[in-house]
Amino acid sequence: MTPKIEIYPGKKAMAREFGKQLEQLTQESENVTIALSGGSTPKAIFEILVLEFKDLINWKNIKFFWGDERCVEPIDPESNYGMAHDLLLSRVPVDKTKIFRVSGEISPHDAALQYEQSIKKEVPFINGLPQFDLMILGLGDDGHTASIFPHQIELWNSENICEVATHPDTGQNRVTLTGNVINNSKQILFWITGEKKAEKVDEIINKKDNYKQYPASLVKPDNSIWMMDEKAAKKVG
Ligand code: 6PG
Q: What is the dihedral of CA 200, 203, 207, 209, to 10 degrees?
A: -120
Q: Encode pLDDT of 9-60 as tens digits.
A: 999 999 999 999 999 999 999 999 999 999 999 999 999 999 999 999 999 9
Measured CA to CA, the distance from residue 215 to residue 205 in angstroms comes to 13
pLDDT digits (tens, 9 = 90+) for 72-131: 999 999 999 999 999 999 999 999 999 999 999 999 999 999 999 999 999 999 999 999
Confirm or reject: Cβ of 37 under 6 Å from ligand 1: yes
Each domain of the chain, given as residue ranges in start order, spans 4-229
Q: Check: CB of residue 211 under 8 Å from CB of residue 142.
A: no
Distance 97 CA to ligand 1 centre (A): 26
According to CATH, what is the number of the domain 4-229?
3.40.50.1360
- pLDDT tens digits for range 205-237: 999 999 999 999 999 999 999 999 999 999 997
Per-residue pLDDT of 130-162, as tens digits, reads 999 999 999 999 999 999 999 999 999 999 999
Strands 162-166 and 173-177: antiparallel
H or E stretch covering 53: helix 41-53
Closest Cα to atom 9 of ligand 1: 38
Sheet of 32-36: strand order equals: 4-8, 224-229, 187-192, 134-137, 32-36, 62-66
Q: How large is the C-alpha radius of gyration of the chain? A: 16
Ligand 1 center to residue 113 CA distance, Å? 23
Q: What is the pTM of this model?
A: 0.97
